[in-house]
Structure 1
């Protein structure tokens, strides 16, 4: 079976006066339907690795395959198309557009992909939000929602184009404990009930221990737990 993500000695070095290695020789494999935590101390390269996996940054060396496809030869257009169709992103700060309603924010990736009619996009966005407990908040703007509700909208947006892989960067980092637990359970349901793979950077070790497995980074390298 082809792994969903495969890396071989993936490395990213910033070309400063004294070069800074953000990610060093990371080799890993992540399959379908996995719930994976990336942990490590501040500055260990967690987010840098996630950005490489999400095709938001390019590696200095090493390889990355997504669903068996080598990403190295991709130009920027191909990388953007792969992000849009195959990857979903959830960040610590939701990055919802403040002038748009919850439903309109969820429609954005679908509009960019351009495969559904307007009514189909509206229906899908409404269904996703309802499935995350936001059926009564479709037409509210982000400033009318709580922090936990805004993050649930962000999860719905990440799911909009049915990507196989959701990448989350500290998705509960700015939330209180109750909202954090809600978002964790939603991400878990994305794996268990929707059959997706979720890879989440987190500083919350209790949360990491409840996931399928944990990848720990120290100074940009994978470290044995």
Structure 2
């Protein structure tokens, strides 16, 4: 009878889920299966549950994606090493960290321009940008203007780069460096496209990471110039 009782209790173990366990599994799935679309089915496999079980903890897939995206923002913030008085270094650190986390989790990054998380990661990034631009010396109107420009640039460019890399078929688990901005070589008729022909060799040397950082530096230079005008 003892043997029979033990056998009767043997079967699939019930998996205990909580939000943090689901978020950790979601990030793992997004990192190991680079794609521009997040798979709830793969998340269920990773957790060992039917995917529908996840929605006992999240109202919808959008709610789940908000939580995953906010965790990426929190990770980007955590990686910043610049001191609080180094306003420029802190914004650059946030921009670089956002690109890094988005490229590591492209299916989550794909939601960045359509979801607002209102979570601690997103709020922390907003606070950092606003406080850094205030430290820069901008007046209130300038802070708001440059905040909107920098945040929109960071989210759109990081998301776009991450999606492009995922669609190129980056193997799971492989960390890859910057990608060329323009695929080459560019063979054009110089009589029709004289400027393309002139810059052809240099265009194909451009990479996405360098362009991203150059754009951010241009935005920070503009903020600094405006701050000097108000002093």
Q: TM-score, normalised by structure 2?
A: 0.27
Higher helix share: 2
Q: TM-score, normalised by structure 1?
A: 0.28
Higher RCO (CA 8 Å, separation ≥ 6 residues): 1
| The structure with more radius of gyration | 2
